[in-house]
């Protein structure tokens, strides 16, 4: 199915009440007129295969046309899936219970499909568990998925309720590996565009100037920053990174207080990667950042102002 066919299918199955709720939400956030938001959603649907969910989720109303090109919308995602996969096997991934049966040895968590299990089997499964995830078999985008606190429910009543709501796949709660949680306690926040990006660039330059740190090359991307810097001998790398990340976060939140509440005072992820010119040549690092800079200019329209 081509882009036109995909759009026709999406319009045919669209929940217009939800779309107008999204328009109201964006209107409150931006003070843009509802008419302009409506036509912008239509425009994003035609140009980028973005539905109203994509438009709101990725905050496309804040992006310029080059930034919008970088978003993998639902339509683009579907094209990629169909291009690189044999769709005759798609049913094995769409049916969650079938998927769990086929790939059970890789899941590393317990689960039960209650349509094929008795109440007694369900009680045994729940024993010793604090929380479980319940899912419908066929819905997507997280619809119908809930986290259930086991002690708050009578097992038999919960079993009957889940059968009625068709949330018949019950799984253990997946817990992220502690090492990854320490490195990325939240997620990479794809928010470094527009005024936030400009401010990040300005703040980093200001903080480097305060400490006599020379920025040789650099680029601010939508979710991370690359820097090649020369640090004074009296300053350690860890000292510089602690200073740069700590001070810049405070300054960014000072300019954009709405981000502080949204991200629970954690603008940067906890980890960072550093290498020295002694291990990699200066020319290699400069070339890498310059190449990334060129790609960014083509795709995203803004980058760190090179010194």
The residues assigned a catalytic role are 288
Q: Which residues, 6+ apart, have CB-to-CB distance to 274 below 8 Å?
A: 237, 241
* Beta pairing class for 225-230 and 131-135: unpaired
State the DSSP string of 90-158.
THHHHSHHHHHHHTHHHH-S-EEEGGGS-HHHHHHHHTT-SEEEEE-SS--TTTT-EEEEGGGS-HHHH
Burial 231-243 (b: 16+ CB within 10 A, else e): beeeeeeeebeeb
The encoded tokens of residue 297 equal: 């200019």
Cβ 130 vs Cβ 150: under 8 Å: yes
Q: Are 263 and 186 in contact (CB under 8 A)?
A: yes
Check residue 59 and report its DSSP letter: T
Residues 6 or more apart whose CB falls under 8 angstroms from that of 8 comprise none
Cα–Cα dist 232/247, whole Å: 18
d(CA 75, CA 73): 5
């Amino acid at each position: 199915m081509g882009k036109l066919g995909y759009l026709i299918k999406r319009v045919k199955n669209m929940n217009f009440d939800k779309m107008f709720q999204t328009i109201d939400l964006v209107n409150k956030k931006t003070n843009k007129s509802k008419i302009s938001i409506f036509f912008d959603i239509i425009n994003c649907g035609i140009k980028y295969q973005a539905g109203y969910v994509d438009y709101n989720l990725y905050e496309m109303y804040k992006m310029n046309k080059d930034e919008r090109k970088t978003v993998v919308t639902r339509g683009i995602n579907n094209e990629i899936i169909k291009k690189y996969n044999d769709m005759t096997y798609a049913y094995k991934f769409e049916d969650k219970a079938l998927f769990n049966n086929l790939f059970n040895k890789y899941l590393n968590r317990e689960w039960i499909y209650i349509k094929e299990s008795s109440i007694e089997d369900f009680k045994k499964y729940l024993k010793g568990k604090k929380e479980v995830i319940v899912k419908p078999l066929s819905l997507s985008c997280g619809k119908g998925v809930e986290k259930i606190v086991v002690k708050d429910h009578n097992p038999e009543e919960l079993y009957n309720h889940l059968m009625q709501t068709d949330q018949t796949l019950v799984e253990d709660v997946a817990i992220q590996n502690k090492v990854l949680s320490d490195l990325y306690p939240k997620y990479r926040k794809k928010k470094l565009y527009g005024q936030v990006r400009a401010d990040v660039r300005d703040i980093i330059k200001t903080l480097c100037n305060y400490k006599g740190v020379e920025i040789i090359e650099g680029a601010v991307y939508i979710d991370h920053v690359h820097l090649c810097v020369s640090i004074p001998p009296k300053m350690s790398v860890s000292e510089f990174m602690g200073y740069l990340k700590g001070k810049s976060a405070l300054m960014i939140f000072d300019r954009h207080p709405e981000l502080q509440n949204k991200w629970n005072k954690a603008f940067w992820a906890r980890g960072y990667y550093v290498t020295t010119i002694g291990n990699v040549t200066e020319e290699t690092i400069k070339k890498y950042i310059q190449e990334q800079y060129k790609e960014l200019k083509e795709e995203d329209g803004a980058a760190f102002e090179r010194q």
